[in-house]
Amino acid sequence: MDDTVSGLAAQKIRELFAICGVENSEELLRSLTAHAVNHLREAQLRTGRCSGTESVSQLKGMTIETPFTPPHGKRGSERLMKQAATEGRTIYNDTAGTGERKRKKRKSGHGLKLMDQQPGASRSDEIGISSDNAPQRTPSPQTHQTSQANETNPQRLPTPHDSSLPSFFGSAYEMKVITTIIMECVKSNFAIAKYGQHTSTAMITTKLAKTQEYVDELSKYSYDKAIKTIRRDTAFSAGKAIQTNYNETIFWPIILKCAALIDPATLPPAKGPVDGFSMAEKAATRKFMEDIGQSLGSENQRQYRIFWKNIYEMREAGIHKVLLYRSKEFDSFCRSYSRTAEISLVNKIFKWEKKYLPHIEQLETRILSLSGGDLKRLSYLNDPQVRRLLKVPETSWNNASDEWASVAEEETFKQCAAESLFADNLGMRHSDELVYEGETDKSVFITLLPEEDGFLFVSSIIPICKGDFLGIFAGALRFSEKFSGTHGIPGPTGRLWLDYSQVTGVLNQMEVSEPGGKANVCLHWDVFCGDVETQSDISWRVSVKATKQTMPFEPLIRMAAQHGQYELHLSSENAEKGFLEIAISQ
């Protein structure tokens, strides 16, 4: 069998395995490769393009090397596509064994499945506002840890055709990989932020008896001390996991130091196709893997050798944040990236780093602020780009909740509305957050970006699915006949409405279309109470929910409730004030 053609077939089969999350062995790979080459030869014979006497290498000129194309919703079986995402990081298993192949168990968790999408958003009427007498179970944006963002299922992503993607993404597969990196960033930073950023000499041991003693001691702590200790250990574990993975970016120069110590005369002659590695580098890789306890299968050595060199070159090129939060999907992407691609792997990832670096840094800051009690998300106003275009006092900025404008109106509302609300249909307030299930909170991924015309626009840095909760629409709850035609959002009952003339927030800055126009979000009225049994503290809030799939950096748009409101949002002067009825202090 010609080495070049069989090598090409083996490469493509490995790429397919990586995409579909299928484990493979050398025996299986050789069998499939031989079958593919034989099938090619038979096809050539049937079409008369060869006489049957040519060597396989002569057939190479008749074949076309197809560049690797990551999967999207219309390619491959749904079962295989969904199998691609499993918990944990990519493990380059030693596939040189000949034993019976074990079936890979699927793990629950939040791997990324491009085809999965949770159906069902809230109903929206003709002005893009919806409500139910029974409350929607919607995640709270004021939670310290953005409950769903930390445990969200990133499979709930749109499956666009490649042609509908933003120009930045080469494919839906790239968008998936970048999204998993962002999710790793959020997950790790929430774990760290619960304890804070510290350097400590907390107990770390490889003696199992000491571990058992430590846990026995922990079980005797008071509740407060136990919680603090558990948070500390969880934060250190997250930090250590990041460090362990980032360590891999300097494995290759360590291997090169080993290669420099090897006497070339002791090495066997090179054989097989040229792959860019010297025999000394190959021997050094094997010794390094043996010394750190990695499996030494020939395919495992090849995979790690290429991967470690690639991520080292990325680090040298100035790529850091992507490597800090790299996911198993990122590792698979690097493994299967074609060497004949128009843009090199390092340059491709550098583009990702350049595009997402400011957003990852904002996420890190935002999560730290949230965990420190910044429920109103004032950290948005500290961004230099936002501060330059938005002149809003901190006292008028609230992304945590919709509070009543006056105690009198609140009491009047309770007297009129309490009898019509039933405890079984109400959400439950828990401390500073609403404990809701069934939807995905992506409020932490919402960002404010400048436009060329001086406006800010609101978008998400990851894909949004229909029904996703994006945050609170800020304002003051009113129960009054004096409705504002410019700043009023009509409620589900008479006299109940939201007034955003004195209070604003992130999502208040989004683009507004005229009544009946196009939109990709709606405003949804949610009812809740503090005590389900007594129905005390009954109130409402206005949440923003996605009504369709939306790509990263695509502006969020809502329909205006009235034409006067649409005209209000056309003015750059009003935009600079956050659409508040205030005078800008110079």
**Closest by CA position to 434, among listed 164, 223, 140:** 140
Flag whether 86 is in a domain. Answer: no
Which pTM was predicted? 0.69
Query: What average pLDDT does range 201-207 have in this prediction?
Result: 70
Please report whether residue 219 resides in a domain: yes
Give the residue-averaged pLDDT of 504-512. Answer: 97
In this structure, the answer to whether residues 281 and 352 fall within a common structural domain is: yes
Residue 371 pLDDT exceeds 60: yes
Angle, CA of 69, 71 and 73, to the nearest 5° = 140
- In-domain check, residue 99: no
Considering the domain architecture, whether residues 351 and 398 belong to the same structural domain is answered as no
CATH number for the domain harbouring residue 450:
2.170.270.10
State whether 134 and 188 are in the same domain.
no
Give yes or no: residues 406 and 269 share one domain.
no
For residue 323, being part of any structural domain is answered with: yes
Coil/strand/helix, residue 279: helix
Q: Are residues 438 and 549 in the same domain?
A: yes
- For residues 285-307, give the mean pLDDT: 92
CA dist 531 and 430 (Å) reads: 9
Please calculate the CA angle 139-140-144 and round it to the nearest 5 degrees.
Answer: 120
- What are the E-state strand segments in 93-245? 129-131
Residue 530 — very low, low, confident or very high, per pLDDT cuts 50/70/90? Answer: low
Phi, psi angle pair for 541, to nearest 5°: -150, 160
Residue 121 lies in a domain: no
Q: Is the pLDDT of residue 398 over 80?
A: yes
- Summarised one tens digit per residue, pLDDT across range 130-145 is 554 433 433 333 333 3
Smallest CA-to-CA distance from 150 within 531, 420, 433 is with 433
pLDDT at 34: 80
Of 5-14, 249-258, 465-474, 511-520, which range is least confident?
5-14
398 in the same domain as 265: no
Which of 330, 362, 394 is the endpoint of a domain?
362
Q: Are residues 422 and 525 in the same domain?
A: yes
Per-residue tokens: 10: 């083996």
561 and 503 in a common domain = yes
What pLDDT score does 59 carry? Answer: 38
End-to-end CA distance of the chain: 78
Exposure of 300 in the CB half-sphere (CA atoms within 13 A):
20
In a domain, 95, yes or no: no
Q: Based on the fold, state whether residues 385 and 412 are members of the same structural domain.
A: yes
Total domains in the chain come to 3
Domain limits for position 439: 129-144+377-576
Would you mind telling me the total number of residues written for the chain in this entry? 586
Q: Looking at the domain assignment, is residue 101 inside a domain? A: no
Calculate the alpha carbon distances from 478 to 162, 163, 402 in Å: 45, 45, 10
| Domain contains 111 | no
Could you read off the pLDDT of 457-471 as tens digits, one per residue? Answer: 999 999 999 999 999
Residue that is last in its domain, among 66, 96, 116? 66
Residue with tokens 């800020």: 474
Q: Check whether 384 has a pLDDT greater than 80.
A: yes
pLDDT one-digit tens code per residue, 425-458: 333 332 233 323 344 889 999 999 998 777 899 9
Q: Are residues 542 and 426 in the same domain?
A: yes
Tell me, yes or no, whether 469 and 549 share the same domain: yes
Same domain, 224 and 138: no
**Domain edge (last residue) among 66, 91, 116:** 66
